[in-house]
Every structure is written in C-alpha cells, then in structure tokens.
Amino acid sequence: MSMKAINPADGSVVCTYDSMNRDEMYQVLERSYHTWLEWKKTSFEERSKLMKRAAELLRERSGRYGEMITREMGKTWKSAVGEVEKCAWVCDYYADNSEEFLSEEAIETDAAESFITYNPLGVVLAIMPWNFPFWQVFRFAAPALMAGNTGLLKHASNVPGSALAIEEVFRDAGFPADAFRSLLVKTSLVDELLEHEHIKAATLTGSGPAGSAVASKAGKMLKKTVLELGGSDPYIVLEDADLESAASTCVSSRLINGGQSCIAAKRFIVVESVLQDFTKLFVKGMKEAVMEDPMREDATLGPMAREDLRDELHEQVQESIRQGARCLLGGNVPDRKGYWYPPTVLANVRPGMTAFDDELFGPVAAIVSAKNEKEAVDLANKSVFGLGAAVFTSDLDRGRRIATQELEAGSCFVNELVKSDPRLPFGGIKTSGYGRELSYLGIREFTNIKTVYVK
C-alpha cells in the first residue's frame, strides 16, 4: 500500500510514499515505549539543548520545507515558510520555559512537606490535519517531548512528506531515534492504537466527527484526550469601529491559508448603521486577492487542498444561495487545472442557512446584519462552535467587556484577527473541542499532576 501527495495547484502527483503495515506500526510503538522509559529520566537541560537544535534546523530548512508544504496542500510558499519558522518559535519557547512550567509547586498543608509535581505520561498519539501540516504537529510535539513524553504522529494522508520531514527534524536534532515517529498508516488503524496499553493519551486536531470518534474510543479506554475541532468564528463590527482597518483585518483572517483554518473568520456580524460601508470595503479587499500559482511571490490565495473539499464548499455556497443568501462576489468554480475556488462573499446570511450554521472551510465569507450590539453578540454565540471570536470597536473598554464576559469562545480578540501564539493557551469550547494547547497549560495536559504528601 502507498500514499500519494497530490499538488492541488494542478492535480499532479508530487511523490508516492510506502505506507506501514500493522506489524511495522506495532514495532515502532514498542520502540517508542522503551525509548520513553529512558527519555523520561533525561534532564530539562538535555531536552532543551536538543529542542534548540530542532529550532535551528527548522530555520535553516524553512525554504525547502515550505516548498514541500505548498506542493502537498496548496498554501502560498510565503505562508508555508512562515509556518515553518513559527514552529521554530514554539520549539525555542518550550526549550526556554519547560523546566519552570513543570517545576514542583509547594502547597502549605498540615504535612511536613506537600507539593505538586508533573510527571510525563508515556507515549502520546497525535492525529493531525493537513491544513497546517507542520504547525499543528509542532505545537503538540515540542511541549510533549520537553515534558518527557514520546510522540507518535498519525498525519493526514495527503501530507506524507510533511509527516516524514517532521520526524527528520527531531532525528537530525539528536533526539533518540524513536522519541518522535510518523506512522504512515491508514486511518482505520487509529482505533487499534488507542486500544494499545502503551498509548497513554491522544490529541487530535480536525473535524467534529473525527474528534467525536477518537474521544469515544479513548473514553472507553479511559485515556486522556485533547481535541481542537472545527470553528465558525464570528467577527463583530460595531458602529464605532475603524471600518477600513476592520475590513482589512477581516479579509486577512478570511483568506489566511486559503480560508482553510479552524480559527479563520467565517461569519462577519455587522451592525446595521455601518453594514453598507463595511460591505463595500470588505468586498473590495476580497477582490484584490491574487489567486495564482502558490509558489509565486505575489500569490495571496492558493488552491484548496483537495478536490472533494473544493466541491463540498461549492455545494455549501450554492445551498446558502438557494436558502436566500445573496452572492456579492465569486461563487463559481474556475475552469482551470487544480482545486481552485475564488474569494466569495455571501450577504443576507441568517441563522438556519448553511453559511451561518456550518463551517465553511475555504475562502467564503458570510455577512450577517445585526440591529445593535446585543443582537450582534447573540448572533455570534448562536453557534455550536466556540473556537475563536473577535470584536472591532474604538472603545477598548467596550471591546474588553464583550470579549471577556459575553463572547462564547476559547480565544477572543479585540481589533485583531484570532491567531495562535506559543505564550497563550489555545483551544475551544462547545463542539470546537476541549483541553488547551500552548502556554504553560498546554505542556501540563499530558502530565500526571501528582500530589506528594510527606508527614
């Protein structure tokens, strides 16, 4: 059995990779477990030295790895290079801070000594998507390895080259050979991995159905999971917002990674008094996107990652139009090789429409009208998702109040697009998942938070 990487810009085969059979998978798992037995004894100083080297390699190879990402899933080369460099940042961050994050915490009780300590769990399975094929993995792998765990990656089948390249980074940096391994196996084997005694926990970034399936199996086995799932992020634009800045930021967020991001803006909820002016600015910005060969320096929008995803998105657009949405821009499949879809803007979107209720994973924006702030917040929260949200206003106290107290999401930003940062916890609520990645909270997710009491 083999896996093919397909270039979504033209549909050509980039490379073919041999996949693992069941026996090979279990051999890697066994070696990963025995590696953990020794790796957990290493010092933070030793782990940090290796993680710093991984960061150096990522920066040195950012151009090469960036091209691989672009060829496999279609994002622009400039964006792909930026993704690889962001991975170096998260490696440095945990190399510098893990010892502090996992240091013993003394707690005053009636004991002679009592404290909390953080111990690694063992082998952690990561099930990762194609849309940020390096970043999604490194934001798990850097803290997991620094905590003393070992990691196994089941990556999306359309980015096998990226999966092997990440394994290469850790190997070349000097980590033990089986501290981090990529398993090129079919998805049907994930259940078997979750059932195995050596897998102590799992993390998944992906769709709601995939997250539900993994959580169900892991729950049956009583194993810890962290899930980062879909999103339909609302961006509220209030009457006192700087409309030019808000529209520019909203366009950037909707088109980042070709719109194929869980935390990309998807629903733009605009108060009536500025709806017309905002819409003009927003449509103008979407029109200016350069949809060209993603390897070109001036390209700002590449193709979608797979043909089936492009076709599904187009059907969602057409269904929304049948339901009463008005298409202001785009909405047609281009007559060209590859899996392209143009920047598309839908207006008159309301609850009950596909564009409002579902996640549109591509360069399609839904504009929603609200009478006032209260209705805007109500509409923003009227969703099964709760990953990210943003509000645009010139009154920072107002924006802080809405973000802090009223919006239902794991990350709420004021006058800025939602983005991940190694220093800040990242994750969602509702059907967008649970648990947190990044920050000091992320590294503690896959540790045994142990109480020690000495009389």
Kindly report, residue by residue over 166-175, the tens digit of the pLDDT.
Answer: 999 999 999 9
Q: Are 57 and 97 a contacting pair, CB within 8 Å?
A: no
**pLDDT tens, position by position, 88-142:** 999 999 999 999 999 999 999 999 999 999 999 999 999 999 999 999 999 999 9
Q: What is the pLDDT of residue 312?
A: 98
| pLDDT tens string 342-360 | 999 999 999 999 999 999 9
- Residue 96 resides in a domain: yes
pLDDT above 90 for 401: yes
Shared domain check, 132 and 211: yes
pLDDT value at 2 more than 90: no
User: Among 87, 91, 250, 262, which one carries the catalytic annotation?
Assistant: 262
Count CB-CB contacts under 10 A for residue 239.
16
Which residues form the domain of 246? 233-414
User: So what's the pLDDT on residue 1?
Assistant: 72
Catalytic residue at 60?
no
Tell me, yes or no, if 87 is annotated catalytic.
Answer: no
CATH number for the domain that contains residue 181: 3.40.605.10
Cα 324 from chain centroid (whole Å) = 31
Residues 148 and 220 placed together within one structural domain of the fold: yes
> How confident is residue 402, by pLDDT bands cut at 50, 70 and 90?
very high
Question: CA 326, 328, 330: angle at the middle one, nearest 5?
Answer: 110
Residue 422 lies in a domain: no
Please indicate, yes or no, whether residues 225 and 237 belong to a single structural domain of this protein. no
pTM of the predicted model as reported, rounded to 2 decimal places:
0.97
pLDDT at 17 over 90: yes
Is 350 domain-assigned? yes
**Residue 247 falls within a domain, yes or no?**
yes
Residues 218 and 333 in one domain: no
260 and 310 part of one domain: yes
Total domains in the chain come to: 2
Do 341 and 442 lie in one domain? The reply is: no
In terms of domains, do 239 and 177 share one?
A: no
Residue 419 in domain: no
Same domain, 294 and 395: yes
For 10, 241, 375, the CA distances from 39, given in Å and listed in that order, are 44, 52, 53
- Looking at the fold, whether 274 and 366 belong to one and the same domain comes out as yes
> In this structure, what token pair is assigned to residue 152?
């196994």
Residue 424 lies in a domain: no
The confidence band for 335, taking pLDDT boundaries of 50, 70 and 90, is very high
What are 202's strand-pairing partners? 125, 225
Selected catalytic residue, list 72, 83, 167, 228: 228
Report how far residue 441's alpha carbon sits from residue 436's, in angstroms, rounded to the nearest whole number.
Answer: 6
Residue 245 in domain:
yes
Name the token pair of 19.
């996949």
Q: Are 224 and 240 part of one and the same domain?
A: no
For tokens 């001036």, what's the residue?
Answer: 298
The pLDDT of residue 351: 98
Q: Is residue 364 scored above 80 in pLDDT?
A: yes
For the chain, what is the mean pLDDT? 98
Q: Which residues contact 269 (CB under 8 A, 6 or more apart)?
A: 234, 235, 236, 237, 368, 369, 370, 376, 379, 380
Let me know: does 243 contact 237? Beta carbons within 8 Å.
Answer: yes
Per the domain annotation, does 420 fall within a domain?
Answer: no
- CATH number of the domain bearing residue 292: 3.40.309.10
- Cα maximum dimension of the chain: 75
Q: Distance (Å, rounded) from C-alpha 135 to C-alpha 118?
A: 25
| pLDDT average, residue stretch 272-291 | 98
- Spell out the residues 6+ positions from residue 197 whose beta carbon is closer than 8 angstroms to its own: none
390 & 447 share domain: no
Q: Do residues 126 and 158 both lie within one domain?
A: yes
